[in-house]
């Protein structure tokens, strides 16, 4: 049995799609069981609390310290507005809701916003730009607020060149329709440019393009070198863990509410429609390449291993428009991504911004990017480029400066500070990357996880060390009493230290979990950064209600599976293999795919599954010959080798039972594994999660 789950896509409808391990309704007597501040009537959770006086004090300090009188972002956000989409709902093709702008209507009113950091509230309002905007009269337009990212239409000789195509076909189609209604003049899509390999910039391609448009050459699809490989590989190997961690960073199960999910720093959130991928037909391979796209001269600047492994900026001299992909944002971006990804290189990122500054900015009159709003005028463009250049360079250099003085990964977030001048620049605020988690990421990149204290080198697992702590602290009652005092005096991180030990030692202690949730909630409320807020609030949610169970919308993405190389798939099978089940078994399988001319030897030895391309083994126990086009169905779980053998699609030589042995050695990846102790309420392990669910939607901001 295969159950498809697509958590990233489950967004606005999440509340309806999930059942909860613990009841999400008011429980008799719940109020008496609470600690700390009073229950909040408008809160979505019966155990939810109001922000404490300490949390309010954090907001008051931020209101005083931050440059709220600098309203240029709002001016730029409003400039060129043409029209909203009349219907806030964009239906999904499978009968659900891909997008519902009305869920953020609460942000338009006067509050209460007493549980939202004022700076976070600011970016949430700036992400409320649901409509069509003019960037350059007659030639450059954007639809914003239809997805996490936005889409840009640039006038070509015969039609519109589309820069980035959102996450879902449904939202992209709606964006195109809104554009056509007001400014598109009925002209077709004449080219597509993918700025980089993250899914929020290519997943919606099927909303405006067919395979035939691309393969016939009628509509060139342009992308930076390495695009396809990176579009898939960033999300395969640790995909199940990444998808689970999205619950935290992206707050996927949190209701949209002043007390829950508010926004993502880069945009309102990820849409919940269907994702597809059409391969590029032209790759930009040089460091700088100039060529015409639909008759318009363009200069492409490859910026590999910056915000994404495969990314490029574009200078359009005829329109004096500089497209900075996702290298420039109205926020500090992630160096380390909380959901999990290799740590990025901020120095290289900074240098590519600097190159764009020196190469293009003297002529640029407007700068646009994959997220947020345009910047008009040379001085403004140069200021933003310089500031964004410096925030990444500073983070790299100063964190390493401290590291060279002995500051460790466990201290750096309490030591590193963004330079005061940049703290006053809104575009350097931590709406996506936070200075805290990014600083730890820089150390991770250069020095790794270890702080060089032997006590932390091979530590006991939390559940193994916690019982001794609890015993030495005098047991649960003493810890609860002390934690309540710490909580009530606003020392939430200290309360978390001891409550976490208690919860690790006593996963069934719901009073302890509730008190830890209360501390998490206040810490979450205090965050300017949505990823940090969502992580603490999601932790609180799971501690109170358990892990959600149930299926989400089926928004499968066979395009992504088809786009995996056979080697990537075989590598992934090596990860799915459970060495303990393999034991001492050993065999070789030849896999030949004639339609693409590939061959592999897959070898099991020492409980390890390896593969090598370009070889076949004469002593293999089994040789399989199958077209790669058919193999894709096995990869996606739509078919099995056994069924395809029966159907004559696979040529078999040797012992087919080897395949059954191998299948029996595979482990299963539970897409809802437990994170906080004692929160797993699921009745049965999920044995059937398909590879597709594991690969997910490949959004990796
Ligand atoms: Zn993006």
- CA of 222 relative to ligand 1 center, distance in Å: 17
Mean pLDDT of 65-73: 97
- CA of 200 relative to ligand 1 center, distance in Å: 5
DSSP string, 575-596: HHB-HHHHTT--EEEEEEETTT
Confidence of residue 681 (pLDDT cuts 50, 70, 90): low
State the pLDDT at residue 262.
Answer: 96
Q: Which two tokens stand for residue 414?
A: 């309490």
Mean pLDDT of 389-405: 98
Answer yes or no: is pLDDT of 121 > 70: yes
Yes or no: say if 101 and 145 are a contact pair by the CB < 8 Å rule.
yes
- CA of 143 relative to ligand 1 center, distance in Å: 15
3-state helix, strand, coil split of the chain in percent (to 5) is: 40, 15, 45
Answer yes or no: is pLDDT of 254 > 70: yes
Count other C-beta atoms under 10 Å from residue 683's C-beta: 6
State the pLDDT at residue 40.
Answer: 54
Query: Which tens digits make up the pLDDT trace of 183-236?
Result: 999 999 999 999 999 999 999 999 999 999 999 999 999 999 999 999 888 778
- CA of 202 relative to ligand 1 center, distance in Å: 10
Count other C-beta atoms under 10 Å from residue 413's C-beta: 18
* Burial grade of 252 (CB within 10 A; 0-12, 13-18, 19 or more): buried
- CA of 318 relative to ligand 1 center, distance in Å: 26
Q: Which of 146-160, 250-264, 528-542 has the lowest mean pLDDT?
A: 250-264
Confidence of residue 510 (pLDDT cuts 50, 70, 90): very high
State the pLDDT at residue 557.
Answer: 74
Answer yes or no: is pLDDT of 415 > 50: yes
Query: Which tens digits make up the pLDDT trace of 474-501?
Result: 999 999 999 999 999 999 999 999 999 9
Mean pLDDT of 436-449: 98
Edge-first strand listing for the sheet containing 321-323: 288-293, 296-302, 312-316, 321-323, 366-368, 375-376
Name which of 354, 282, 290, 351 is nearest 316 in CA terms: 290
State the pLDDT at residue 205.
Answer: 97
Confidence of residue 672 (pLDDT cuts 50, 70, 90): confident
250/599 Cα distance (integer angstroms): 40
Name which of 454, 234, 433 is nearest 335 in CA terms: 433
Yes or no: say if 201 and 165 are a contact pair by the CB < 8 Å rule.
yes
Mean pLDDT of 16-43: 37
- In the chain, pLDDT over 70 holds for what percent of residues? 90
- CA of 313 relative to ligand 1 center, distance in Å: 14
Query: What pTM was computed for the model?
Result: 0.91
**Residue written as token pair 């919308």:** 553
Query: Which tens digits make up the pLDDT trace of 54-63?
Result: 999 999 999 9
Q: Average per-residue pLDDT in the chain?
A: 90
- CA of 116 relative to ligand 1 center, distance in Å: 23
State the pLDDT at residue 33.
Answer: 29
The residues placing their C-beta within 5 Å of ligand 1, an ion, are 149, 198, 200, 326
- CA of 270 relative to ligand 1 center, distance in Å: 10
| DSSP helix/strand/coil, 200 | helix
Answer yes or no: is pLDDT of 334 > 60: yes
- In the chain, pLDDT over 90 holds for what percent of residues? 82
Q: Which of 97-111, 262-276, 540-554, 627-641 has the lowest mean pLDDT?
A: 540-554
State the pLDDT at residue 38.
Answer: 45
Confidence of residue 239 (pLDDT cuts 50, 70, 90): confident
Q: Which two tokens stand for residue 177?
A: 């329709």
**Residue written as token pair 């996450």:** 167
Yes or no: say if 221 and 282 are a contact pair by the CB < 8 Å rule.
yes
Confidence of residue 629 (pLDDT cuts 50, 70, 90): very high
- CA of 53 relative to ligand 1 center, distance in Å: 36
**Residue written as token pair 């169970």:** 549
State the pLDDT at residue 549.
Answer: 63
Answer yes or no: is pLDDT of 28 > 60: no
Answer yes or no: is pLDDT of 620 > 60: yes
Answer yes or no: is pLDDT of 519 > 70: yes
State the pLDDT at residue 638.
Answer: 87
- CA of 550 relative to ligand 1 center, distance in Å: 28
- CA of 411 relative to ligand 1 center, distance in Å: 30
Answer yes or no: is pLDDT of 699 > 80: no
State the pLDDT at residue 560.
Answer: 80
State the pLDDT at residue 41.
Answer: 63
- CA of 326 relative to ligand 1 center, distance in Å: 6
Answer yes or no: is pLDDT of 543 > 50: yes
- CA of 699 relative to ligand 1 center, distance in Å: 8
Yes or no: say if 272 and 205 are a contact pair by the CB < 8 Å rule.
no
Beta-sheet strands, E only, within 350-479:
366-368, 375-376
Query: Which tens digits make up the pLDDT trace of 350-361?
Result: 999 999 999 999
- CA of 29 relative to ligand 1 center, distance in Å: 45
667/670 Cα distance (integer angstroms): 10
Half-sphere exposure of 111 (CA within 13 A, CB side): 9
652/644 Cα distance (integer angstroms): 11
State the pLDDT at residue 641.
Answer: 87
């Amino acid at each position: 049995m295969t159950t498809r789950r697509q958590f990233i896509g489950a967004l606005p409808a999440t509340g309806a799609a999930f059942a909860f391990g613990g009841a999400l309704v008011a429980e008799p007597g719940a109020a008496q069981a609470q600690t700390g501040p009073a229950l909040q009537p408008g809160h979505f959770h019966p155990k939810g609390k109001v922000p404490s006086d300490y949390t309010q004090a954090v907001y008051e300090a931020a209101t005083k310290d931050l440059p709220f009188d600098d309203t240029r972002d709002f001016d730029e956000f409003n400039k060129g507005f043409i029209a909203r989409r009349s219907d806030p709902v964009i239906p999904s093709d499978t009968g659900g809701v891909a997008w519902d702008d009305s869920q953020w209507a609460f942000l338009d009113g006067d509050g209460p916003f007493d549980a939202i950091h004022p700076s976070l509230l600011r970016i949430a309002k700036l992400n409320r730009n649901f409509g069509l905007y003019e960037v350059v009269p007659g030639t450059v337009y954007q639809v914003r607020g239809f997805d996490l990212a936005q889409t840009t239409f640039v006038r070509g000789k015969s039609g519109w060149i589309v820069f980035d195509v959102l996450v879902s076909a449904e939202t992209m189609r709606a964006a195109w329709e809104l554009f056509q209604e007001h400014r598109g003049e009925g002209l077709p899509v004449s080219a597509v440019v993918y700025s980089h390999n993250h899914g929020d910039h290519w997943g919606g391609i099927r909303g405006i393009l067919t395979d035939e448009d691309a393969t016939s050459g009628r509509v060139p699809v342009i992308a930076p070198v390495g695009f396809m490989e990176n579009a898939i590989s960033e999300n395969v190997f640790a995909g199940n863990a990444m998808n689970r961690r999205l619950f935290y960073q992206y707050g996927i199960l949190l209701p949209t509410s002043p007390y829950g999910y508010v926004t993502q720093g880069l945009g309102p959130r990820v849409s919940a429609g269907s994702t597809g991928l059409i391969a590029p037909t032209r790759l930009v391979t040089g460091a700088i390449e100039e060529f015409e796209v639909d008759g318009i001269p363009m200069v492409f600047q490859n910026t590999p291993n910056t915000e994404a492994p495969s990314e490029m900026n574009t200078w359009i001299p005829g329109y004096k428009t500089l497209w900075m992909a996702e290298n420039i944002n109205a926020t500090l971006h992630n160096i380390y991504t909380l959901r999990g990804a290799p740590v990025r290189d901020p120095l290289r990122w900074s240098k590519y911004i600097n190159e764009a500054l020196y190469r293009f900015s003297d002529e640029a009159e407007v700068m646009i990017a994959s997220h947020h709003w345009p910047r008009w005028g040379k001085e403004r463009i140069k200021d933003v480029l310089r500031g964004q250049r410096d925030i990444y360079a500073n983070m790299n250099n100063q964190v390493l400066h401290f590291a060279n003085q002995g500051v460790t990964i466990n201290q750096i977030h309490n030591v590193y500070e963004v330079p005061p001048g940049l703290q006053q620049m809104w575009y350097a605020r931590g709406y996506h990357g936070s200075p805290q988690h990014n600083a730890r990421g820089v150390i991770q990149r250069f020095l790794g996880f270890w702080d060089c204290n032997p006590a932390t080198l091979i530590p006991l697992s939390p559940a193994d060390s916690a019982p001794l702590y609890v015993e030495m602290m005098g047991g649960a009652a003493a810890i609860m009493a002390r934690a309540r005092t710490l909580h009530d005096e606003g020392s939430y991180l200290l309360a978390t230290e001891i409550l976490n030990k208690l919860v690790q030692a006593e996963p069934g202690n719901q009073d302890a979990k509730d008190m830890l949730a209360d501390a998490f909630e206040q810490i979450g409320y205090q965050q300017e950064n949505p990823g940090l807020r969502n992580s603490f609030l999601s932790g609180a949610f799971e501690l109170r209600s358990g892990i959600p169970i149930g299926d989400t919308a089926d928004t499968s993405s066979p395009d992504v599976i088809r786009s995996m190389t056979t080697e990537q798939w075989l590598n992934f099978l090596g990860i799915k293999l459970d060495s303990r089940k393999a034991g001492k078994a050993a065999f070789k399988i030849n896999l030949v795919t004639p339609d693409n001319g590939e061959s592999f030897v897959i070898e099991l030895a020492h409980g390890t599954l390896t593969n090598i391309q370009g070889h076949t083994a004469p002593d293999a126990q089994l040789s399989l010959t199958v077209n790669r086009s058919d193999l894709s169905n096995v990869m996606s779980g739509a078919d099995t080798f056994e069924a395809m053998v029966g159907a004559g699609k696979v040529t078999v030589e040797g012992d087919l039972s080897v395949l059954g042995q191998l299948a029996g050695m595979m482990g299963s990846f539970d897409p809802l594994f437990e994170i906080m102790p004692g929160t797993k309420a699921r009745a049965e392990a999920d044995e059937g999660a398909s590879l597709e669910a594991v690969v997910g939607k490949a959004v990796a901001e």
